[in-house]
Amino acid sequence: MLDLVLRNARITGRGAAIFDIAIAGGRLADISSSIVADAPSENLGGRLVIFPGFVDTHIHLDKSCILDRCHAEHGTLQEAIAQVAAAKRAFTEDDVYERGRRTLEKAIVHGTTRMRTHVEVDPRIGLKSFQAIKRLKRDYAWAIDLEICVFPQEGLLNDPGTEELLIEACKSGAGLIGGCPYTDSDPHGQIARIFSIARDFDLDIDFPP
C-alpha cells in the first residue's frame, strides 16, 4: 500500500531521465519510469530529487537569527562569544524555539535531512535552549533527523554549576556532548571531564576543530 507517488522527478546521478518515486511507510518503496498506483501523487515537473538529503554536521540552532541583538566591532571569536553570552541571558525557551524553527524550516525545504546542532548549557541559560531544541527535534522528526550536542561554550571547570547542567541534559536526552577547551582556565582538565561524562552516559563527543 503506497502512501505517495512523486511523479516526473529527476534523480541525482541519473541524468535528465524522468522517474516516478513511490513512498510507503515513510520510506522509499520504488523508483520507476512509470508507477501505476491509486495513491495520492504530486507532479514534480522535472524537479531534482536528491538521495540522500543534505547533512549539516555543525550548526547552533539556539543562536539562530540574533544578529540584531549583537554588535560586533572587531570581528573576533572572543567578541562573538562575549556578545552571545550577553544576549542569551534574555533568551526564553519559546524565543529559542521560534528562532530555531525558522532556520530549521529553511534547511528542510532546501533538502537537509540530517542535522547536528550544538546547544549551550551553563548557569546563564540553564536548560532553556536545550528544552527548546528538544521540542524542535520532536516536532520536526517527520522531516529531519536532528542530533543535539550539549556543550559549555564559556568554560566548564571555571564556571561552577555548568557540569551539573550538562549531566542533567545528558540524562534528559542529549545525543552527544561537546566541549570548548580554549575558553576554560584548564583546557586539558575540561577535556578530561567531558570524556568522563561521555563515558558515564555512553555518548559520542564532538569537539570543535
Residue 59 has pLDDT above 80, yes or no: yes
Residue 193 has pLDDT above 90, yes or no: yes
Residue 78's pLDDT band (cuts 50, 70, 90): confident
Q: Are 16 and 46 in contact (CB under 8 A)?
A: no
Query: Residue 187's CB: how many other CB atoms inside 10 A?
Result: 16
- Partner residues linked to 117 by β-bridges: 59, 148
What pLDDT was estimated at residue 75? Answer: 87
Residue 209 has pLDDT above 80, yes or no: no
Is the pTM above the cut of 0.85? no
**What are 13-32's pLDDT values in tens digits?**
899 999 999 999 888 899 99
**What are 139-166's pLDDT values in tens digits?**
999 999 999 999 999 999 999 999 999 9
Q: What is the side-by-side strand order in the sheet with 145-151? A: 54-59, 112-120, 145-151, 176-178, 204-206
| CATH architecture, domain defined by 54-206 | Alpha-Beta Barrel (3.20)
Residue 46's pLDDT band (cuts 50, 70, 90): very high
Give every CB contact of residue 57 below 8 A, 6+ residues apart in sequence: 116
Q: Are 179 and 153 in contact (CB under 8 A)?
A: no
**What are 173-184's pLDDT values in tens digits?**
999 999 999 999
Q: Mean of the pLDDT values across residues 186-194?
A: 98
Mean pLDDT of the chain: 95
As a whole number of Å, the end-to-end CA separation of the chain is 46
The closest alpha carbon to 120, from 112, 133, 130, 110, belongs to 130
Q: Residue 82 class from Cβ within 10 Å (0-12 exposed, 13-18 middle, 19+ buried)?
A: middle
The closest alpha carbon to 189, from 162, 153, 164, 158, belongs to 158
**What are 90-135's pLDDT values in tens digits?**
999 999 999 999 999 999 998 899 999 999 999 999 999 999 999 9
Domain boundaries, the chain: 4-49, 54-206
Task: Between 53 and 116, name the one with better pLDDT.
Answer: 116
What pLDDT was estimated at residue 190? Answer: 98
Residue 38 has pLDDT above 80, yes or no: yes
